[in-house]
Structure formats: C-alpha cells, structure tokens
Amino acid sequence: MSGEILILTIDGDSHAEHVARLLAARGAEPVVFDPAGYPVRAVLDAVYHRDGRVRRRLRTETADVDLDHLTALWFRRPQAPVAHPEIADPVARAYIEQECAVFAGDLWEQLDCRMVPAPRERVRLAQRKSSQLVLAGRLGFELPDTLITNDPDEFLDFYNRHRGRVITKPVGVPATSRADGEGVARMSEPVSTRDVTYADAIRFGPVVTQEYVPKRVELRVTVVGRAVFAAEIHSQESNHTRLDWRRYDPGGTRHEVHELPPEVAGRCVRIVRRLGLRYGAIDLILTPDGRYVFLEVNPSGQWLWIEKATGLPIGAALCDLLMYGTVREETAHAARRP
C-alpha cells in the first residue's frame, strides 16, 4: 500500500480518524501512525545511494509507505518512540528511545512533501508564548498586560497594580506527570489572596501573570491555510468556565459561529503565516465593550468539538490543505478569507 498522506498522532486520536475518513472518501490514501509504535510495531528504513538517490520507507502492521512519494505529512500529535518491552535495563531503554527519536525525527524532517502545520522544529519555535506576544503586538493585536518572571517582588508589584485581578498560567508546559505516573494539568488560574502569601515560591521558576480581561465571549479562531473559522464559546454563562473555557461541559456550553471584523481575521492569518505555520488555533477574548484581545496560538489545537457544535467545515478544510496545499472556495464559504 502506498500512502499519499501520512498522519502522525497518538493512538485513538478522534481528530485524525475524522480527517482520515474524509480523505478516504475523496479517494486519498491516508495512513495514521503513532511514532510511539516504533520500533516495536513498525520498521523505518532509509537507504542513501552513492549517486545521491534516497529511498525511505515506513512499514507497519497494516501499511507499507513509500515516504519519498508522500503528498503531505500531518504532524497532528505524535508521541516519542518507545523501546521494546524486552529491554528491561532503564539506561539501555533510555538510550534506545533516544536513538529512535533522533532517527525518526530526522527522517520526517527530510521528506520533500507538504508539512502541516509545519516542520517540527518550526512548530516548536512557534509554540513559545513570549515570542507569540511580541509578534501579536507588532501585528496590531491588543494584548493583556503580561508579566513573565521568577522575581516575587515584580509579581507582587504587578498584582497590586492590577488590584488583584490577575491570572497565572504556564510558560510552556500545560501538563506533566507526578512520580506515581498520574497526570497533572495546569490551566489559567485566578490569583487568590491565599496564593499571594506563597509568592516567594516564584523564585524557583518563571510564571506567566496576566491582567484579568473581562469577557463577553471567548473565541476559538481556527486558521487553515488562509481560511479563518471563528467560533464563540459562551463561557460566561457558567461559573465553571468563567476563567478558563477548557473546564467546560461540551453539552452545556453554548457555541456559535462568529463573524470576525476583516482586520482581525487578517491579523489571525498573518500571525499564523509569520510563525511559519499552515494551521493554527488562536484564542481571543471579545470584551463587553467590543475589543478583541489576543491570548495565544496553538499549532496543534483541538477543533473537532467546534465543528460538531457549529458546523464549521474545519475537517474538510484540513483535507483540502493536505491534498491540494490550499483551502478550496467551496469549503471556505463558511470562513473569512482576508
């Protein structure tokens, strides 16, 4: 089997499965693969001939992919390679996993095909929140007043200047695991008076602190190529979601299509392109007085729940991008195209 489009993501990813079904219905040959299955359930080959010719292949339990004939590669949410369970020594496991990650990562980057949202190194750079804020400000977005510091005194000055109406969020790692393996997520959190008594702990590492921006609605703006799909998340209708809509109950939070002003839609396209991406999920706040405030861009942000709630054809737009390199007009009729 020759796969024209390779999707790298975690097993059971509903977003990847949805797009793969759409691609197959169009006659494409998508292959979904998680690099965590390498080398246990997959083989990667690369042959470099004396005359410069190269042959690269991925073989899994269900597919044989000629990597040099791919149309596109979608870095959806791939995981790192995992060593074979027969390798029990932890030092040997770490070494093998590092070797596999280096080879596989280098191999994906070598491929001469369309990459969505971008080559992995570009994605890593694009995820840096502080750089996003600098670029967003240059492009004309309004930003929340923000401090990133490990100085407790700077934090306290910022807190007092904004009369305690501030939130904190992680610099770049929203989730991690404890020693017992249980996952821990870090979302946007209000700073309470009790938290302030522990401000000295900030000296151990940086924290993002922002002024609290009042919300009429929160917006998830999904940019696919030059197509812009904007959705309202009515997070202020529930106490559970007032500070961070990611706490919401999908069945209980209202979502609607939002018509962005052309200048705001244009900025959304430009920031994604300036970050070197073909796809980006942007979080904005629409304030009660009608201002659009930029929060961040996620190069691998979720979108399927938005499509189901609003009917915006984001999956179809991704299919267009993977197959043709652009979003077709018939797909983008529900989106702004600056």
Residues 6+ apart with CB under 8 A from 239: none
Cα(209)–Cα(153) distance, integer angstroms: 13
Mean pLDDT over 295-323 rounds to 96
> In the 8-state DSSP scheme, what is residue 142?
B
Per-residue pLDDT for 194 more than 80?
A: yes
For residue 323, what are its two tokens? 């197959």
Instruction: Report pLDDT digits (tens) over 276-304.
Output: 999 999 999 999 999 999 999 999 999 99
Of 23, 117, 11, the closest CA to residue 315 belongs to: 23
User: Which domains occur in the chain, in start order?
Assistant: 5-116 (no CATH), 145-211 (3.30.1490), 217-334 (3.30.470.20)
Q: Which one has a higher pLDDT value, 79 or 187?
A: 79
Cα(125)–Cα(133) distance, integer angstroms: 13
Residues paired with 8 in a beta bridge: 33, 75
Predicted confidence band of residue 193 (pLDDT cuts 50, 70, 90): confident
Count of Cβ atoms closer than 10 Å to residue 106 Cβ: 10
Instruction: Report pLDDT digits (tens) over 142-187.
Output: 999 999 999 999 999 999 999 999 999 888 765 555 556 565 556 6
Predicted confidence band of residue 330 (pLDDT cuts 50, 70, 90): confident
pTM of the model: 0.89
Cα(273)–Cα(90) distance, integer angstroms: 42
For residue 254, what are its two tokens? 């209202």
What does residue 71 show for φ and ψ, rounded to 5 degrees? Answer: -80, -40
For residue 205, what are its two tokens? 């590492």
Mean pLDDT over 80-101 rounds to 96
Contact yes or no for 217/236 (Cβ under 8 A): yes
Instruction: Report pLDDT digits (tens) over 102-144.
Output: 999 999 999 999 999 999 999 999 999 999 999 999 999 999 9
E strands of 164-291, at which residues? 166-169, 175-177, 183-185, 189-190, 207-211, 217-224, 227-233, 255-257, 279-286
Task: Report the first-to-last Cα separation within the chain, whole angstroms.
Answer: 39
Contact yes or no for 79/10 (Cβ under 8 A): yes
Cα(85)–Cα(82) distance, integer angstroms: 9
Mean pLDDT over 194-212 rounds to 92
Cα(245)–Cα(222) distance, integer angstroms: 16
Count of Cβ atoms closer than 10 Å to residue 25 Cβ: 9
46-66 exposure pattern, b = at least 16 Cβ within 10 A, e = fewer: eeeeeeeeeebebebeebebe
Flag the least confident range among 15-29, 63-77, 202-216, 246-260: 246-260
Query: Residue 234, exposed/middle/buried by CB under 10 A (0-12, 13-18, 19+)?
Result: middle
> In the 8-state DSSP scheme, what is residue 202?
G
Query: Residue 89, exposed/middle/buried by CB under 10 A (0-12, 13-18, 19+)?
Result: exposed
Of 3, 7, 33, the closest CA to residue 20 belongs to: 7
Count of Cβ atoms closer than 10 Å to residue 96 Cβ: 17
